[in-house]
Structure 1
Amino acid sequence: MSATPLPSRRLFLGMLGTAAAVPLASTGVLTLGSRSASAATTSPFVMAYFTWSPRNLGTDYGLHLAVSTDALQWMPLNQNNPVVTPTAGDGGLRDPFILPKQDGAFVVMATNLKGTDWTKKTPYIHVWDSADLRSFDNYRLLKLHDMATHTWAPEAFWDPSRGQYALIYSAVNSSGHNVIMVNYTTDFQTVTAPQVFFDPGYDIIDGTLAKDVNGVNYLYYKGRNSLVGARSTSLAPGSFTQFTSGLAPQGGIEGPILAEASGTWYLWGDANGLFYTWQTNDLSTGTWTATDRRVYTQPLNSKHADIKPIPQTVYDNMVATWGKPAWNRLKSYNFPDRYWRHVDSLGRIDPYPFDPYTDSQWKLVPGLADPSGVSFQSLNQPTRYLRHSFYKLRLDANDGTTRFAQDATFRQVAGLADPSWSSFRSYNYPDRYIRHFAYELRLDPIATATARSDATFRLTY
């Protein structure tokens, strides 16, 4: 089967709680390079994703990138705008995947689908070549089969026994249900005939592989709305055996990601745009502990993502090219699923995700009354700033008065509940801090442990 050449184009659990060890189940797609558990990854990371928000105000079917130094806290690049968008096929992508190739360059692949019409059938996937994840060239549609089915969530890994890359994806074959298929290729231009890579006998999608972890390969996938794991000492089609039960929040989960950072494995999953993360120090046990949501923050509006380690120079060059966001979000310490936002001109914290998502984006500017302080300028209503009025936080237009400037100025200090986070003390009422109470943002004196937690926030993106 041949690729169809086209013109080239440049182009991260709920509220905080105690985490119990849970037997794993897996869904989604990911392929990490070969490494043993002792070879801890300390390099930076890139995340690839498309974007979605509940009312589709933030939905975009182009390739989005974010970077991280720990695979937990993420910074979107290019102001969270796409860095490249497909120009053929369905005109949009889902489920993007980045493969670091044997030669040090990259291949980017994605599902050929714009929107949510799951009945669409296509044998094609989107493919780009990239030397450095800053340019995306040789764009093409790659045909994988002649079956009357979709071709979802492509991933790939190097199979040294074959001297070829294995390209895995979800499709319905003659079994009548979704299985993980595989083709082999050396150049992502032409591929071998498809064959079944893994079929547990029931419908599965979103296969992702952690390769050669102490001699064992681990395949995670979405099965029965949960994340399930299989393993094999071989990479041969048909060699994997399920060894975990299902892992999922209420309502189900998909799009798993496996990422190793500093000797810890993380399993991410997408539950309708909200990412959950679990962790383990030993993939062989099949048990995972829920990661404290304080510890990780997904990029704004990210959906069905992929995570890969990258060299420091690639990270540095990506940041230099695409830039840091000109805005921040603020995450609650004791309700880490909630973020600052404005609603009807009042400040509050609400659970992510929500629309308009732009209500949660803030520009931290020098304090209006004192440039050594900080003021919170609304990104989507830039003439307005958060200020206190009768001790409530409001979003009001700057009237140019001294009183307004003082009410809208705060001192950023070490977090009252955690010094690695932040708290914000009023400029003109220095005995009071911004805190949430009944989910509303207000200005209060802080005297209890609960209040200290209410007044602690993380600056994030």
Structure 2
Amino acid sequence: MMPRRSSTLDADGAATTAYAFVYFTETPNQSGASYGLHLAVSRDGLHWSPLNQNQPVTTPTSGQQGLRDPFVHRKQDGTFVVAATDLKGLDLGRNSQYLHIWDSADLASFTGYRHVRMHTMNTHTWAPTIFWDAGRRRYGIAYSAAGGGRDVLMVNYTGDFRTVSTPQVLFDPGFPVLDGDIVVDGGTTYLFYKNLADGNTYGARSPTGAPGSFTTYTTGLRQGNAMEAPLLVKRNDGTGWWLWGDGFSLVGNELHAWAGSSVDGSAWTLLNQRDYTPPLNAKHGSIVGITDAEYDAMTARWGLPAWTRLKSWNFPDRYVRHYNGSIRLDAYPFDPHQDQLWRTVPGLAGSGGVSFESINRPGHYLRRSGVQTRLDPDDGTAAFRADATFIRSTGLADPGGTSLRSYNLPTHYLRHSGYVLRLDPLGATLNSTDRHDATFRFVS
């Protein structure tokens, strides 16, 4: 397929059945920050599994030797190109005239790394997006830069992603804009962007995609205090679109998702966080449709996560974590982010159950202590093994979730109460709150 266009086939006619996400990572105190190229995959486009244990699959070696805002595009020949901002860390005042660029046949390897100069101005070159301009028979590389005293979207054209044309102003609506994402669908070019004046994200469109031809057609979207890094994704099944964006809230920068039946309309429905799970610690990336063969090549090369996260059903912004030996639900993101990562192993007391070993405290398991829960080291006793074993069952609140019954207190289920995990007897007269408190989703 040309995933940023209207087809659901790749260049060889194979159906795109999955999705790949490229991104960089940050956490509130920067302990989980990584400014290399990260990859995640998804079968449904909503729940994501980081590859390579959420470590970079490649890292820039030129310029500031770090990246932000990577963008992946499937070229007309079916292969991929990745472009990214030349910037490492949070010092956004450091300007670069360059972009990092790689080639890839299948996203299982990256070749031809180069550092391409886009302009000679004393300004930044942020958040590239790539689109095919059919009229020019060239690719457009659009990015944010300061021109005429405010941020605008510039564009250079290229046929090989090595040499580029002289930059032009692609979009300047008269107020500062940032983070453009461009797709071509049905002969129309769509541009979604952040309005820096009000913090909202808007959509513009053009019949040609030519510089200066875009007109805004949507109302503003935001989640939290503002929204940036809009990301448009056409569903592989052809039934609609998703719009992702980085929203700002009290706990930090979080990825949110909307659904729409048509990119040409202005109606976007905010999805419940229960229905999607972004890649762990992901910031400002992009998504492309991939085939079964590409999915298999990527997972074989980079490997799926060695961990599981337990996501609350009725508070889906919260994950089960350990904290000073206790087990509780906290709103994500938080640090240390590894406190929410669990290795699921066959039940210590019997293979019919499951046990949860902490990733960052190896040998320590989630276990019951009375009707409370703790993270404790395995002491080798039969009592500990039984306390640390749980039986998985269909979610009490919804069959799409999972509930966990105590192995040695079989009438009791794990549930949260006041954001603390405990075990309570849950009989035939469960109320809705009980059922929801005792239901979780296993995610990566």
TM-score by length of 2: 0.94
| 2:5 is the alignment partner of 1:34 | yes
Q: Which residue of 1 aligns with 2:140?
A: 166
Q: Deviations over 1:231-277 (max 9, x none)?
A: 11111111101112221122112111111223121111012431111
Shift of 1:215: 3.3
- Give unpaired runs (5+ residues) of structure 1: 1-30
Q: Which residue of 2 aligns with 1:204?
A: 177
Q: Which residue of 2 aligns with 1:220?
A: 192
Asked if 2 retains the 8 angstrom alpha-carbon contact of 1:329 and 1:361, the reply is yes
Instruction: Give the secondary-structure state (helix, strand or coil) at the position aligned to 1:273.
Output: strand
Q: Deviations over 1:16-58 (max 9, x none)?
A: xxxxxxxxxxxxxxx9522179x9x862100000011111111
Q: Which residue of 2 aligns with 1:265?
A: 241
Instruction: Give the secondary-structure state (helix, strand or coil) at the position aligned to 2:300.
Output: helix
| 2:162 is the alignment partner of 1:189 | yes
Q: Which residue of 1 aligns with 2:312?
A: 332
5 Å-filtered alignment, 1:299-314, equals 299-314=279-294
Following the alignment from structure 2 to structure 1, what is the Cα–Cα distance between the partners of residues 45 and 149? 37
Q: Which residue of 1 aligns with 2:212?
A: 238
Percent identity for Structure 1 against Structure 2: 52
Following the alignment from structure 1 to structure 2, what is the Cα–Cα distance between the partners of residues 81 and 394? 29
Bigger relative CO (Cα 8 Å, ≥ 6 apart): 1
5 Å-filtered alignment, 1:44-63, equals 44-63=18-37
| 2:413 is the alignment partner of 1:433 | yes
Query: Which of 270, 274, 294 matches 2:254?
Result: 274
Instruction: Give the secondary-structure state (helix, strand or coil) at the position aligned to 1:283.
Output: coil
Following the alignment from structure 1 to structure 2, what is the Cα–Cα distance between the partners of residues 391 and 34? 54
RMSD: 1.5
Asked if 2 retains the 8 angstrom alpha-carbon contact of 1:171 and 1:181, the reply is yes
Q: Deviations over 1:369-415 (max 9, x none)?
A: 11221001011001210111121110011111111111100001111
- Give unpaired runs (5+ residues) of structure 2: none
Q: Which residue of 2 aligns with 1:146?
A: 120
Asked if 2 retains the 8 angstrom alpha-carbon contact of 1:32 and 1:209, the reply is no
Asked if 2 retains the 8 angstrom alpha-carbon contact of 1:76 and 1:325, the reply is yes
Asked if 2 retains the 8 angstrom alpha-carbon contact of 1:32 and 1:157, the reply is no
Q: Deviations over 1:353-374 (max 9, x none)?
A: 0000000000001111112210
Q: Which residue of 2 aligns with 1:8?
A: none
Worse overlay, 270-279 or 67-76: 270-279
Following the alignment from structure 1 to structure 2, what is the Cα–Cα distance between the partners of residues 122 and 333? 44
5 Å-filtered alignment, 1:29-428, equals 32-35=3-6, 43-173=17-147, 175-212=148-185, 214-223=186-195, 224-261=198-235, 262=237, 263-271=239-247, 272-428=252-408
Q: Which residue of 2 aligns with 1:457?
A: 440
Following the alignment from structure 1 to structure 2, what is the Cα–Cα distance between the partners of residues 57 and 397? 25
Instruction: Give the secondary-structure state (helix, strand or coil) at the position aligned to 1:404.
Output: helix
TM-score by length of 1: 0.90
Number of residue pairs aligned between Structure 1 and Structure 2: 427
- Equivalent AA in structure 2 for residue 264 of structure 1: G
Instruction: Give the secondary-structure state (helix, strand or coil) at the position aligned to 1:285.
Output: coil
Following the alignment from structure 2 to structure 1, what is the Cα–Cα distance between the partners of residues 50 and 95? 32
Shift of 1:293: 1.1
